[in-house]
Amino acid sequence: MRDRERKARADAKRPNARARGYDREWEKARADWLAAYPSCVRCGAKATLVDHIIPIRKAPHRRLDRTNFQSLCTPCHSGAKQSQERKT
C-alpha cells in the first residue's frame, strides 16, 4: 500500500508524456523503429517499446536520434532497464 501511494505521489509531480518529448514525431519514429527491429535486444521476445539507451532526461537532444534507440519487451524495460537507470 505504501509503495502504491509513494508511486502515485511521484506520478502526480511528473510531467505528462507530451511534455517529456513523446509527441507525434516520437510516435512515428517509434513505429518505424519497431517495424524495422521487432525483437527485444535483451531476450529476443516481441518488442513493444523503443527505449532510449541514454535517457531523454540526460540527453534531450538525442530524443529522436536512432543511434540511441533499442527495442525492448515490457518485462525487460520495466525490470532490468529501469533498475539500471535508477542506479545511475
Torsion from C-alpha of 21, 75, 14, 23, nearest 10 degrees: 20
* Contact indicator for 39, 73 with CB cutoff of 8 Å: no
User: Cα(57)–Cα(20) distance, rounded to whole angstroms?
Assistant: 8
| Span 60-84, pLDDT tens digits | 999 999 999 999 999 999 876 666 6
User: Cα(79)–Cα(3) distance, rounded to whole angstroms?
Assistant: 16
| Span 29-43, pLDDT tens digits | 999 999 999 999 999
Residues 6+ apart with CB under 8 A from 77: 49, 51
